[in-house]
Amino acid sequence: MQRSRHISLLPKPLTKMGFDEIFLINLVRRPDRRRRMLVSLQELEIAPRVVDAVDGSTLNSSDIKVLGVDLLPGYYDPFSGRTLTKGEVGCFLSHYNIWKEIVSRGLERSVVFEDDRLMEELEGAQRDWDLIYLGRKQVNEEDEAPVEGVRNLVKLLAAEPLSKMLPVDEFLPIMYNKHPNEDYKRHFAPRDLLVFSAHPLLVQPTHYAGDSNWLSDTETSTIWDDDAKKTDWAGSQKTLRDSRGGAGHLRSTAHDEL
């Protein structure tokens, strides 16, 4: 609901909640999503830094090769059987660029939001961690042991993922050794990223597959090395809402969504 233009409120002081940086990834051609996320975060008194996403739709096959991107041998999407899309290349590069900035600036604690989706407790629990999911879909149906009370992205860069790319939401589970495909995992070592997830989740998708106004810039794209071969989401079960109203358990070939 939009606030009435006749109501005036004092601006809220915005903070980074104790983090070094809060990144918000946004495609320049999606200003509606940028506005929605900025308004939402402002209501939560959160000060993000907007980062222009790498737009896969503007990349051609030659651009991708120049960037040093190559496909992970044998990779196919577990839901559609297709290979990597340019949208997924853009998504991966957007996160990869942020990982590089985090390392180069020596940031200890950062948050990364995408535009379509607390530290005292973590420190009190005295847990080492590299990555924490604020919102995601669980890989497998098995129960996960909670951590009561609840840094090192050099590992992600050292894996040299651009030369053997797959979607970023499959790369991360590989790096903490939870991806179900053993063939994919053997291309990356070590797989010892320390990862936790908030429970209950703090971030939820704004739309699921099948919802009105639902759109995916990673799926509605073209194949990474074929500018003429278009892809869409027809028949995918990847982000269907479950009976509990959220993105629930998926079959064993599924992977975490950021």
- Asked if the structure places residue 230 within a domain, the reply is no
- Asked if the structure places residue 79 within a domain, the reply is yes
- Asked if the structure places residue 155 within a domain, the reply is yes
Domain housing 184: 21-205
- Asked if the structure places residue 97 within a domain, the reply is yes
- Asked if the structure places residue 240 within a domain, the reply is no
- Asked if the structure places residue 242 within a domain, the reply is no
Confidence band of 206 (pLDDT split at 50, 70, 90): low
Structure tokens at 10: 């004092």
- Asked if the structure places residue 147 within a domain, the reply is yes
The model's pLDDT over 141-187, given as tens digits with 9 standing for 90+, comes to: 555 555 444 345 688 999 999 999 999 989 999 999 999 999 999 99
**CA-to-CA distance for 46 and 251, rounded, in angstroms?**
35
Q: Which residue has the tokens 């050292």?
A: 158
**CA-to-CA distance for 151 and 114, rounded, in angstroms?**
20
- Asked if the structure places residue 210 within a domain, the reply is no
The model's pLDDT over 53-84, given as tens digits with 9 standing for 90+, comes to: 999 999 988 889 899 999 999 999 887 888 89
Structural domain count, the chain:
1
46, 12 contact by CB (below 8 A): no
Output the pTM of the full model. Answer: 0.73
130, 217 contact by CB (below 8 A): no
